[in-house]
Structure 1
Amino acid sequence: MKQPKVIFLDAVGTLFGVKGSVGEVYSYLASQVGVNCDASLLETLFYQQFKKAPPLAFPKVDVMEVSDLEYQWWYQVAYDTYKEAKVIDKFRDFDSFFQQLYDYFASPHPWFLYDDVFPALQYWQKQSIALGIISNFDSRIYEVLDIFGLTSFFQTITISSTTGIAKPNSDIFIEALEKHNCQPEETWHIGDSKKEDYQGAKSAGINAFLLQRNEKIDRSDYTIIDSMERLISN
């Protein structure tokens, strides 16, 4: 494969993941304030509410407002998750609880780094390939990247909440490309979501690789890699 000028990567599910599951985290933290709920139920309900929610993107707002809007967005997802689990009334002070929940995901506790990340990033850095992140995440990504010592690898970080555009919309990929002043065909994008990452990147003309972390994927329609080391070896 021709060496790209820039490689863009997704964040959650590509660089780092949640230990266990989101449902387990939601269940554990709720139990710390005396609210018990099954982790598998919370996992199912969380993803239902997550998919129902509008994109985590806030177009045409002042940058100073973004942090509050991110917080409100996640508050609603969490509130609706516990409400659907029929335990919302068991919280004495849900607002205070949510503050702890929100801060928890900016700490090292819920996250783990995939084993292939450092070798791949170090290799591409040595090859003088510019690296960037394109993610439907919020501003806490900077804290998580610092936790794992990843910040210095990336020249650009493009996230949906501050750009006002969310993947798979091709405009977020185009905005990331403009930061590097390069053409789509000169870049790669690596991510674990068929729709948001692979199809979104392809719609912008970027060479896309679908990273198979957990779920089995129909290999006939996508350029699949089972680890980022696969790209290094080629």
Structure 2
Amino acid sequence: MGQFDAVPKVIFFDAVGTLFGVRDSVGHVYAALAQIYGVTVDPTAVNDAFYTSFKAAPPIAFPGIAAEQIVMHEFEWWKAIAHQTFTTIGAVEQFSDFDRFFDHLYDHFATAKPWFIYEDTFPTLDYWRNQGVDIGLISNFDSRVHQVLRALGLTRYFDSITISTEVGAAKPSMAIFTAALRKHNCAAHQAWHVGDSRKEDYGGAIATGLRGFWLQRL
């Protein structure tokens, strides 16, 4: 106990920024869809405003919420960020129907279109699958991650998928890592976690007793 296994019983991965990322930038995707609704904005300004709004938002976790209400809360969480993003750059009033725009935007991010898969993703997942190691996903995304994984051809690799909105706790909380470990009947020292956030992924994993790997994407 207390020492990490040379080969893990299960290896967990983060999703966005680790296995796949946003094409161009969030700002480019937002700006391109806004153009469809007659709103012209600078993608770089949108991107900066998005990340400011995103970082200021509360964790995407809804403890105590009934399961059937989670999807609605996810939608409203992201809508608030999008609204604040366009408010910050002074463009929200340009939309004749912001709700209609956001419906389109939200659905768009549930498809493969705004995403790209990092070139090392499939080889890495294939390697661990061939080693007989369980593979899990731990993500602060939302329920749409299931659709995205299917669209990108990644679902088949995962023995478990654990997301913050279903657990009611977001990384770096120990609760989400513990919930993921329970799905594999696995002790923390038998598991690894790989992610691109030093605080949420590496810090959360280490605090829970997993072996953490901080993946620094360029």
Q: Give the alignment's TM-score, normalised by structure 2.
A: 0.97
Deviation at 1:178, TM superposition (A): 0.9
Instruction: Choose the corresponding residue for 2:211, options 196, 207, 211.
Output: 207
CA RMSD of aligned residues (A): 0.8
Deviations 1:23-53 (A, max 9, x none): 1111111111110111111111100100111
The separation in 2 between residues aligned to 1:83 and 1:32, in whole angstroms, is 18
Alignment-derived partner of residue 218 in structure 1: none
Say whether residues 1:36 and 2:32 are aligned partners. no
The separation in 1 between residues aligned to 2:93 and 2:124, in whole angstroms, is 47
5 Å-filtered alignment, 1:1-234, equals 2-214=6-218
Higher relative contact order (CA 8 A, sep 6+): 2
In the TM superposition, structure 1's runs of 4+ consecutive aligned residues that sit over 4 Å from their partners are none
The separation in 2 between residues aligned to 1:87 and 1:175, in whole angstroms, is 41
Sequence identity percentage: 50
Give the 3-state SS of the residue equivalent to 2:179 in structure 1: helix
- Gapped regions of structure 2 (runs ≥ 5): none
Deviation at 1:63, TM superposition (A): 0.6
The separation in 2 between residues aligned to 1:131 and 1:93, in whole angstroms, is 42
- For 2:49, the aligned partner's letter is L
Deviations 1:88-137 (A, max 9, x none): 11100000010000001011110000111111111111111000000000
Deviations 1:161-201 (A, max 9, x none): 11110001111101111111111111110000000000010
The separation in 1 between residues aligned to 2:37 and 2:100, in whole angstroms, is 10
* Alignment: residue pair count: 214
The separation in 2 between residues aligned to 1:100 and 1:148, in whole angstroms, is 20
Deviations 1:129-170 (A, max 9, x none): 000000000000001100111111111101011111000111
- Gapped regions of structure 1 (runs ≥ 5): 215-234
Q: Give the alignment's TM-score, normalised by structure 1.
A: 0.90
Deviations 1:59-91 (A, max 9, x none): 111110001000000010000100111011110
Give the 3-state SS of the residue equivalent to 2:18 in structure 1: coil
